[in-house]
Amino acid sequence: MSKLILEKFGQKVRNERLKQNLSQEKLAARAGVHRTYIGMIERAEKNITLINIEKISQALNVSISSLLDF
């Protein structure tokens, strides 16, 4: 079950990033994380921390709850 939540979260991040026409590199720069980290999140390869969820939500200018609303 834990892999499923990572997949759903990663898809939400990817969808929002593409909706805003942002590259992984641009989103990473806005969030203050490495470019490869965004890719790993989107592919559900990384168990993201709450701090980084907040960074990404702020970089996308969306609420944390919108990224977690599956």
Render each residue's pLDDT in the chain as its tens digit; 70 residues: 679 999 999 999 999 999 999 999 999 999 999 999 999 999 999 999 999 999 999 999 999 999 999 8
Residue 9 lies in a domain: yes
Residue 49 lies in a domain: yes
pLDDT given at position 1: 60
pLDDT given at position 37: 98
Helix, strand, coil percent values for the chain (each to nearest 5): 70, 0, 30
Relative orientation angle of helices 50-60 and 35-42, to the nearest 10 degrees = 100
pLDDT given at position 2: 77
The distance of Cα 44 from the centroid of its chain, to the nearest Å, equals 10
- Number of domain units in the chain: 1
Residue 66 lies in a domain: no
Residue 18 lies in a domain: yes
Residue 39 lies in a domain: yes
The Cα 48–Cα 60 span in angstroms is 16
- The sign one gets for the Cα dihedral 40, 46, 42, 57 is negative
pLDDT given at position 4: 94
Q: What is the CATH number of the domain that holds 18?
A: 1.10.260.40
Residue 70 lies in a domain: no
Task: Give the domain range for residue 35.
Answer: 2-61
Residue 68 lies in a domain: no
